[in-house]
Each structure stands twice: as C-alpha cells, then as structure tokens.
C-alpha cells in the first residue's frame, strides 16, 4: 500500500462504522509501530516535557500508527548500556551526549572541547551548521540515524561538597565524577584532577556516599536531579557546552513508512527547538533557586582555566585526535583554540 492510500484507508476506517463491523482490518493493513525512547533525565527536565508533547503530537497525526513510549531517568539502564541497546534495536530512540556517543563515533565529542563556545548564539550556529552536519554524517556510518536538531543540555558548571572551585588550582587532586567519555577524562587530567567515569544514573549516590567529591553539569540538571541535596558549592565555570543528539536505530528508522518518518522528524526537531528555549530560560532563574535550596554560588574567571588547558597541551592533543577537517570547522565557527 502506498503512503497515500494507506493514509486514505486509515482516515476512512476511522471515520466510518466499518471499524466496528470489521475489527482488526485496519491493523492488518496499516502496521502500527510501538517504539521506545530512553533517556537519562528526570521527567521534570524540559527534554522529557517536550519529548512527551512531541510523542502525543506524533500519535495524533499518525492516527495512532506511531506510538513512542518514554523511559526517563535511565530506567532501561545507564547511558553506556542504553547505547548498546540502541545499536541492537532493543531501544529505538535515545538522546545521548555527543561526548558519550564518542565512545562509538569519536568525532561526536568535538562540541565538548573546553571553553570552545562563548555563548548560545555561537553554539546553535555551529551545531545547526557545517560542524553539526559533519558530525551527523559520521554518526550515520554506525547504524544510527541522528535527527537534525541537537537538543540542549547546556553550559556545564562545577559543583563540590567541601570547597568552591575558584581557580584551576582548586581542581588539583579533586575527585570529580565525569561521564564515560575520553574527552572528559582527558580534560580533567589536564587540570591535574582525579576524574572517575560514572554513568549519570549513579551520580547522586556517588556524591552522597562520597565516592567522589564533586561533579559538573548544567544548572537545569543540578536542579531537576536534586544534586543540590548532596553538594554545597556551585562554581559557574561554563567550561564546556554539551548537547543531546536525538538518535534512532537505523534499521528501526528505515522500517517506518516515509510519511511516518517525516511526521516524527518534524515533531521531534520542533520539540528540540522548544527545549533549547526552555533550558535557556531556566538558566536565567535557577541560580537564585539553587541559592534558596542551600547552595553557594561563585563565578570564577575562565581565563586561567583555559590557559591551564592550553599549557597542558589539551588543545593540541585533541586537534590531532579529531583531525584537521572537523577541527577546522570548529575553529571556523568559534575562532582559534590552540
């Protein structure tokens, strides 16, 4: 059945009493798809709020043929495990930080280069532009279909239990949790810190039990994951920008009829743009909220942190690792880094 006749058939079947008279016919003719979407964030984070709206809009516009069920808070496993499930097709959709995705697609970490982006304007120009397109092209080579728009995680800040981070010196020997990603580990090693790779699903407990002294995440996550309950200081280091690629298992994506694919792409990408606005707005109000929740905030000068990375050879090392082409696209957008 072509897409057009399928749609016509569905409309007719739904609008007529034929549905009652011939139960099951519509199902036999037009397949329904029940896909899972996994992510590591709480239901209160804008990513889940906007994804839920998109799933509802998609179900409505496909007359229920495309159903997306959301599994928030790493319910199906931590990020490393969920990435394996996405590759196997056990999970159809997954939002993942490019830096963690880099354990499979190395160049996907490139937006996380320390202090690369000065502001959101530059982030969106770059990630919706040539560098983003290059990264999506690379992701596609691994049996994963990335949606066009990357969703916002945010500029990352540093939280700690015993003392605030005011300069690179405070990071020396600091036991900090980092997501599972070589770029993250390398950056904190360059600072002389003691990074430990831990999936987000275990971050709250690791901070609570003192396995690590601190962690780094955008304000929206510090708030929605209630990390303020187990951390005292929040240093506005803005040391990297991180986003979530909205990924689909390629085979499961290809199994969708073209008209359903375009409905899904349309609503997911539009939801991503709304989520970007939500996170930007939240960032404006969360500093005060976190203070009322007991955190002490400070805003250190970024210069000395950046100098430290430069003198430790961090930029030269990652320029070599990523290669001339993507590094050139990054520098074209943000200016010279090394």
Q: Which is it for the CA torsion 197, 145, 156, 210, positive or negative?
A: negative
Closest separation between CB of residue 177 and ligand X2X, Å?
A: 8
**Of 102, 153, 237, 265, the one binding ligand X2X by CB under 6 A:** 153
**Of 30, 221, 230, 260, the one binding ligand X2X by CB under 6 A:** 221
Cα–Cα distance for residue pair 85/313, rounded to 1 Å: 36
97 binds ligand X2X (CB under 6 A): yes
Q: Which is nearer to ligand X2X, 45 or 136 (CB)?
A: 45
Closest separation between CB of residue 235 and ligand X2X, Å?
A: 16
Q: What is the pairing mode between strands 33-38 and 66-71?
A: parallel
Q: Which is nearer to ligand X2X, 124 or 200 (CB)?
A: 200
If you search the block for the tokens 């560098």, which residue do you land on? Answer: 131
Cβ neighbours around 204 below 10 Å, total = 16
3-state helix, strand, coil in the chain (%, to 5): 55, 15, 30
Q: CB–CB of 240/118 below 8 Å? A: no
**Phi and psi dihedrals of 43, rounded to 5?**
-60, -20
Q: Distance from CA of residue 264 to its chain's centroid?
A: 18
Q: Vertex 113, ends 126 and 91: CA angle to 5°?
A: 75
Q: Which is nearer to ligand X2X, 113 or 260 (CB)?
A: 113
Q: Which is nearer to ligand X2X, 179 or 214 (CB)?
A: 179
62 binds ligand X2X (CB under 6 A): no
Q: Which is nearer to ligand X2X, 10 or 104 (CB)?
A: 104
**Of 40, 160, 250, 265, the one binding ligand X2X by CB under 6 A:** 40
94 binds ligand X2X (CB under 6 A): no
**Of 157, 170, 213, 242, the one binding ligand X2X by CB under 6 A:** 242
Enumerate binding residues for ligand X2X (CB under 6 A): 40, 97, 100, 153, 179, 200, 217, 221, 242
């Amino acid at each position: 059945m072509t897409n057009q006749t399928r749609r016509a058939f569905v409309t007719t079947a739904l609008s007529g009493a034929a549905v009652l008279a011939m139960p099951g016919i519509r199902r036999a003719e037009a397949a329904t798809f029940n896909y899972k979407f996994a992510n590591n964030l709480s239901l209160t984070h804008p990513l889940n709020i906007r994804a839920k709206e998109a799933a509802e809009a998609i179900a409505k516009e496909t007359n229920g043929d495309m159903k997306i069920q959301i599994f928030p808070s790493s319910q199906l496993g931590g990020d490393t495990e969920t990435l394996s499930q996405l590759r196997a097709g056990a999970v159809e959709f997954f939002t993942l930080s490019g830096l963690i995705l880099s354990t499979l697609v190395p160049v996907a970490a490139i937006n996380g280069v320390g202090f690369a982006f000065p502001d959101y304007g530059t982030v969106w120009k770059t990630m919706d532009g040539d560098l983003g397109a290059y990264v999506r092209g690379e992701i596609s080579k691994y049996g994963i279909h990335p949606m066009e728009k990357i969703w916002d995680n945010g500029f990352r800040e540093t939280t700690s239990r015993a003392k605030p981070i005011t300069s690179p010196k405070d990071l020396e020997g600091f036991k900090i949790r980092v997501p599972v990603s070589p770029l993250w580990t390398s950056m904190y090693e360059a600072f002389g810190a003691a990074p430990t790779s831990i999936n987000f699903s275990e971050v709250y407990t690791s901070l609570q039990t003192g396995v690590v002294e601190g962690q780094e995440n955008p304000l929206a996550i510090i708030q929605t994951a209630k990390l303020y309950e187990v951390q005292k200081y929040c240093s506005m280091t803005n040391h990297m920008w991180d986003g979530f690629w909205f990924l689909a298992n390629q085979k499961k994506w290809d199994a969708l009829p073209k008209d359903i694919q375009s409905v899904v792409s349309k609503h997911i990408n539009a939801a991503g743009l709304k989520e970007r606005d939500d996170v930007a707005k939240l960032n404006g109000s969360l500093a005060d909220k976190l203070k009322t929740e007991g955190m002490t905030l400070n805003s250190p000068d970024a210069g000395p942190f950046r100098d430290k990375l430069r003198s430790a050879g961090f930029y030269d090392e990652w320029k070599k690792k990523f290669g001339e082409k993507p590094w050139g696209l990054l520098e074209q957008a943000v200016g010279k880094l090394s």
